[in-house]
Structure 1
Amino acid sequence: MVSELRRSYAAVVTTESQNGEGTSTGQQAGAASNQNPMNQSAMQRSDEVDEPMYLHFSENPNLALVSPPLTEINYASWSRAMKIALEVKNKFGFVDGTIVKPGVDDPRYPVWKRCNNIVCSWIFKSLSSTIAERVLYFEIAADIWNVLQKRYSQVDPHRIAEIQNEIYKCTQGNLSINEYFTKSNALWVQLKAMRPVPACECVPRCSCTLMSKIQKEKEEDQIIRFLEGLNEEYENIKAGILVMDPMPIMEKVLNMALKMERKLKSSINLKSIDLTQANAIQNVVIPSTDEHSVVAAGISNNKKKFNGNSGKNIPNCTFCGRTGHTVDKCYKKHGFPPGWVAGYKTKNKQTQDAQQFNPSVSQVSDTGLSAEQFQKLLTLLQG
């Protein structure tokens, strides 16, 4: 096609040179002939990509398109994920039968076989090892898909009962609102896949809204179970939503629960901040209170120490005018005891030292002798 366009362009140029006419019409034709090959090649590449039998050079037969692989209990979710992956690669027609196998003599047969084999390889890589062994020897992708659908898409009453029990036992606990909703919604999706809403079979199809009402009731059941599984902190939301008529959709209920969760978290954070501040203030006040108590106790002890005799009658000497002794024991009148040290101010200590020096000194005033006379008497007795 490109060579033909080039030949036409050469023919135009040759014709113009022979006629000697460089008209504008010939120039426009030459420009158009230069642009058409690029546009046509781009359109050709687009058509090739849209072709189901087109294989890009980067396609890998060892690629696992979905995860987790197919097991005996997850066919609904696996088939949904696998269908999306094959449709993205424009290869779902090989498994649903819309791309028919051509004859062996058909020139398209090698291309179909290559695409069919890579689709089979993708399916094998997305199966568990035990299931892959059961379908390994099927050569057509559509046959593998149909066998898997017949074996594992059957409705299992025991599995339905298990999912229903899990739905009724599903509670929030320590989960956040988003985590709890994800867990609950996954169970409802599995249940819907096993027990889908029946479609209308009337011929011609009736115009009643029965199917939409059934779908609405199922959605309300999911909302009710979601609210019943919330913690006690969300009791206000439960009571508020359940009395609404009509009941809001699941997305609005989820948004209300998320707002309440943020409010509860903010109030908990404020309480924790207040508690921390209260503890900090208490830790500062308590040491100062103890310190004041110690100081007060010390002052009280000092007062008791220096004012211990405040409640008793203190003797007063009429000879020297000082307190603490009477005139009978006044040293200034009767004389100081031997060993007296001038400036030794503690009267109790003075008396104790004097008594240790001479035990009979304290008896001088009782005998009527002076200290000098008493000392001479002691010398005579000892001599």
Structure 2
Amino acid sequence: MFVRGKGKDDHLTGTAKAPKEDDPNYRTWKTNNSMVQSWLISSMTTEIGENFLLFATAADIWEAAKITYSSTENTSELFETESILHELRQGESTVTHYFSTLTRLWQKLDLYDNHQWTCPEDSTLYNKIVETKVFKLLSGLNKELDEVRGRVLSIKPLPSL
């Protein structure tokens, strides 16, 4: 977000290509590239950042870090997150804290799901995903909230779009 906010995200994607060294724009590109490299490396722990010091461009650092540290293919992390979700209950937490924890875990799972919404019937799949999350939320609430749970479960689902 920071790099995009500074208008330098083209250096991450590789869209901002290096001009030839004799091009008058080369110095500006090199300055901007070095700045983005610095931002990236500074945002990493020292042990990780040191591995990226010799990369030529910010795009090279970004791509290598994405390949090395991306979790979109991490099956063990996916399993761990699903296990935590399965076991999670409100317990001593407030409803707000419980819901926030669920939301954070669901967002983490969303990184692994690559839904391709292509037709109106996909709303059925979307509704099923939302319904599953609502049932998980309700099933983990403390027993003293059974009245709330009963009211929500008696609400009819939204029709498909």
Structure 1 length as normaliser, TM-score?
0.39
The 5-angstrom pairing of residues 230-241 of structure 1 reads 230-241=141-152
Give, in angstroms, the shift of residue 199 of structure 1. 4.7
Map of 1:97 onto structure 2 = 14
Please list, as runs of the form range in 1=range in 2, the aligned pairs for 1:252-291 lying within 5 A after superposition.
none
AA matched with 2:76 = H
2:57 to 127, 140, 144: 140
Cα RMSD for the two superposed structures:
1.5
2:36 paired residue number:
119
User: Is the 8 Å Cα contact of residues 102 and 112 (structure 1) preserved in structure 2?
Assistant: yes
Amino acid at match of 1:106: D
Aligned counterpart in structure 2 of residue 228 of structure 1, from 139, 142, 150: 139
Partner SS, residue 155 of structure 2? coil
Inter-CA distance 178–129: structure 2 relative to 1 (3 Å threshold) = same
Residue number among 77, 89, 92 corresponding to 1:174 in the alignment:
92
Structure 2: gaps of 5 or more residues = none
Q: Which whole-Å CA distance do the structure 2 matches of 1:178 and 1:90 have between them?
A: 36
Q: Which residue is equivalent to 1:162?
A: 80
Distance in 2 (alpha carbons) for counterparts of 1:211 and 1:146: 32
- Percent identical among aligned pairs is 29
How far residue 184 of structure 1 moved from its aligned partner, in angstroms, is 1.1
- Name the structure 1 match of 2:121: 210
The number of aligned residues is 157
Are 1:106 and 2:17 an aligned pair?
A: no
Structure 1 moving runs of 4+ over 3 Å: none
Unaligned runs of 5+ in 1: 1-83, 201-207, 248-383
1:317-336 alignment to 2 at 5 Å? none
Cα displacement string for residues 15-72 of structure 1 (whole angstroms, at most 9, x for unaligned residues): xxxxxxxxxxxxxxxxxxxxxxxxxxxxxxxxxxxxxxxxxxxxxxxxxxxxxxxxxx
Q: Bigger relative contact order, structure 1 or 2, given CA contacts below 8 A and separation 6+?
A: 2
Residues 172/142 of structure 1: CA separation in 2 closer, same or farther (3 Å cut): same
* CA shift digits 1:293-351 (9 cap, x unpaired): xxxxxxxxxxxxxxxxxxxxxxxxxxxxxxxxxxxxxxxxxxxxxxxxxxxxxxxxxxx
1:194 match: secondary structure? coil
Q: In the alignment, is the contact (CA less than 8 A) between 1:197 and 1:214 conserved in 2?
A: no
**1:215, distance to aligned residue in structure 2 (A):** 2.4
